[in-house]
């Protein structure tokens, strides 16, 4: 049976060039990168090389790149680490609640951190709305800002529906708000870093498709992950703009400028660097305005459109979820009204076709997608959704097979369903 993988937003296969780069660090270059002898120095050269690739990606300084175990840790470090820096800046802050703004469609690695900080009595959080197409409402962010607001965290690309959020616009708005907070005479004051709003974006789903320069995005903190960009699992990074206050949230070593201790995952870090190097090599074809993609991404977009056109023509009562213009090319989130998503997933899997019903990280949950609910969709339509995410190895032949197989599955499930279709 032909196996077809259409779940690239969950994870990507490792690129052969990345695998080739990793191999020596899994065999002969095995030293601890913190050791002073030659074995350690050979290993740290790989870490330094990888950091250079990420600094190029972000347009940043070498020391502004911090390696982590993945996006979840990076997001925790960004939110909790910044909050703790503010909290311990002076004694009177110990009992103070700081304010964080985020959106209702963030990944659980953001939402659950915020919920934890609230439960611990350390923060108050405002969750801003999105419109019916899944785009964050910038005016709501501006309105939500208060005197004790220290951080705004908005994802670059949504993992479920692929919508591109107006990150640069949000960053520019925050910059204007910060000018109001800090008169020019106070900008160079040692305490000025604690008199501004910082901006974080979870850019995990954006790296393959969109501009990542920190200055362009106007971001102070940026999260990325290796396994979403054809690199290894278990490694990620956090860009931290110089001057951004961050406290370590784990302890036990001096690595990563005393921000993220722990023995270096050298092979993983090199693999992340190699995956980013591939992105950097194609970045010249990505518009600085975020509008055009590389040739490979154009091909992915054409295949995605072929999938949508084929399914919507063959299957009545379908609904495309999310903005089709402000969207990365690999994502198609479709509700097949009257058919149950989990059943569609399992029946497609029996045909050798891998898809998702939403976020892979929440695939064990029977709750309707929090992203689709935030867009105003009723629960029954949320449960009828399938997320198809294409990658650079996806072929037209594979798309043709999905278009041939899925209509029969949907028809069968609709006949079995006790619910009457609304459309």
Find the catalytic residue in 193, 361, 362, 405: 361
The CA distance from 347 to 214, in Å, is 43
The answer to whether 4 and 402 have CB atoms below 8 angstroms apart is yes
Sequence-distant (≥ 6) Cβ neighbours of residue 367 within 8 angstroms: none
The answer to whether 65 and 51 have CB atoms below 8 angstroms apart is yes
| DSSP designation for 134 | S
Buried b (16+ CB within 10 A) or exposed e, 15-27: beebbebbeebee
- Match 């090599």 to its residue by tokens: 281
The CA distance from 96 to 412, in Å, is 57
The answer to whether 92 and 255 have CB atoms below 8 angstroms apart is no
The CA distance from 113 to 111, in Å, is 5
Based on the residue annotation, tell me whether 382 is a catalytic residue of this protein.
Answer: no
Question: Among candidates 31, 55, 56, which has minimal Cα distance to 45?
Answer: 31
The CA distance from 36 to 42, in Å, is 10
The CA distance from 292 to 209, in Å, is 9
The CA distance from 171 to 158, in Å, is 17
The residues assigned a catalytic role are: 361
């Amino acid at each position: 049976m032909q196996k077809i993988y259409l779940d690239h937003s969950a994870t990507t296969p490792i690129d052969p060039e990345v695998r080739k780069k990793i191999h020596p660090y899994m065999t002969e270059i095995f030293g601890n990168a913190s050791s002073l002898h030659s074995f350690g120095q050979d290993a740290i050269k790989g870490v330094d090389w990888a950091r250079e690739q990420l600094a190029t990606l972000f347009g940043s300084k070498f020391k502004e790149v911090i390696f982590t175990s993945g996006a979840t840790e990076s997001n925790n470090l960004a939110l909790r680490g910044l909050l703790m820096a503010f909290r311990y800046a002076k004694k009177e802050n110990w009992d103070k609640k700081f304010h964080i703004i985020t959106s209702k469609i963030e990944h659980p690695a953001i939402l659950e951190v915020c919920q934890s900080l609230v439960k611990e009595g350390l923060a108050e959080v405002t969750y801003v709305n999105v419109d019916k197409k899944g785009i964050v409402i910038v005016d709501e962010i501006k309105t939500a800002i208060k005197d004790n607001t220290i951080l705004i965290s908005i994802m670059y690309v949504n993992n479920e529906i692929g919508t591109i959020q107006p990150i640069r616009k949000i960053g520019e708005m925050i910059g204007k708000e910060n000018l109001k907070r800090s008169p020019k005479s106070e900008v160079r004051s040692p305490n000025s870093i604690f008199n501004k709003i910082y901006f974080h974006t979870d850019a995990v789903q954006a790296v393959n498709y969109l501009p990542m320069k920190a200055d362009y995005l106007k971001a102070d903190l940026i999260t990325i992950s290796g396994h979403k960009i054809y690199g290894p699992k278990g490694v990620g990074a956090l860009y931290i703009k110089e001057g951004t206050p961050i406290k370590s949230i784990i302890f036990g070593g001096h690595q990563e400028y005393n921000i993220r201790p722990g023995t270096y995952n050298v092979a993983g870090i090199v693999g992340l660097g190699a995956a980013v190097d591939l992105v950097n090599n194609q970045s010249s074809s990505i518009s600085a305005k975020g509008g055009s993609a590389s040739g490979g991404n154009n091909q992915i977009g054409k295949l995605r459109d072929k999938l949508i056109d084929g399914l919507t023509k063959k299957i009545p009562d379908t609904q495309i979820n999310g903005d089709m213009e402000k969207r990365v090319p690999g994502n198609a989130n479709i509700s097949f009204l009257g058919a149950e998503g989990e059943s569609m997933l399992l029946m497609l899997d029996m045909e050798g076709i891998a898809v998702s019903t939403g976020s892979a990280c929440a695939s064990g949950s029977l709750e309707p997608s929090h992203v689709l609910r935030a867009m105003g969709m009723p629960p029954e339509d949320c449960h009828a959704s399938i997320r198809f995410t294409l990658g650079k190895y996806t072929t037209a032949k594979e798309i043709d097979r999905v278009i041939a197989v899925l209509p029969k599955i949907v028809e069968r499930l609709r006949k079995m369903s006790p619910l009457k279709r609304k459309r």
